[in-house]
Amino acid sequence: PASKALGQPILVVNKPGGATSIALVQIMQSPPDGYTLGYITGSGIMMPHLQNLPYEVNRDFAPLMRFIEFSTLGIIVKADSPWKTLKDLIEYARANPGKLKYTSPAVGNPNHIAMESLAKEAGIKWVHVPSKSGAEIITALLGGHLDFAATSPEWKPHVLAGKMRLLATLGQKRSGTFLETPTLIDLGYKTYAPSFGGLIGPKGLPQPIMDKLHKTFKEAMNDPNFQKTCKQFDVDPSYNSPEGLAKDIRDLSALYGKFVQEYGLKKE
């Protein structure tokens, strides 16, 4: 729908690597003419806190709008795990400090932050073993090499197939697919994993171009195909204005900065 409204084909180019930082560098270096836009998530916001990168999220981009949030970040165990609920897992961790090992997609990702925040809130200790990909997480968990994982929806087909168990989700609201599974907030904790997807351009986009792009993509969110795709991938349509997305990015970057300082993480 956005392509039709703009009268231009929209070419989606995947730029793997660097937890989205490679793609964001390209966006930053593109001319501010409205022809090159990008997708920003928590990973790209976190990376400048962990690596020396040429971009600064609050300085080098023009926020256009937030359009999705993720409610299916979750805590998963193997189906034959002795822990049937999150309460079981936490009670075991409390009785066995530092014995449980878990994985997430990388150091400092929203899942990792949520797990360390939960441990602090619950007064427990567990050990984080970062993975390089969702596939690696699934392999490690199914192979019994780790006790549990906190990750995005790579686990969904395995939970539906009965090979894994979902103990809790990490969003602020329940997953539409797993409505019976509580969030950490439902279970009485304050912890959640802030995770969203936003549309950005390079800094310096002229206001008329920003206004046109914002209007076009906001209207595209009402298209049934967009709603269907969101449901297919278990993400939630979630609009925020350019100013709102800028605040989302600022707030999340500040949260990550605090986390990096608190846990003594160093830039590579």
With a cut of 90, say whether residue 268 has pLDDT above it.
no
Report strand pairing: 196-202 vs 61-70.
antiparallel
At 187-212, the pLDDT tens digits run 999 999 888 999 999 999 999 999 99
At 5-63, the pLDDT tens digits run 888 899 999 887 777 889 999 999 999 999 999 999 988 998 899 899 999 999 999 99
Non-local CB neighbours of 224 within 8 Å, separated by 6+ positions: none
User: Could you give the dihedral angle defined by the CA atoms of residues 12, 17, 18 and 23, in that order, rounded to the nearest 10 degrees?
Assistant: -20
d(CA 46, CA 193): 13
Q: State the chain's mean pLDDT as an integer.
A: 93
pLDDT of res. 245: 98
* Dihedral sign (CA 42, 44, 45, 48): positive
Axis crossing angle, helix 242-262 with helix 42-50, rounded to the nearest 10: 40
Letter string b/e over residues 153-162, b meaning 16 or more CB atoms within 10 A of that residue's CB: bbbbebbeee
H/E stretch holding 114 reads helix 110-122
CB-side neighbour CA atoms (13 Å) of 195: 26
Domains identified in the chain and CATH numbers: 2-70+195-262 (3.40.190.150), 74-169 (3.40.190.10)
Predicted model pTM: 0.82
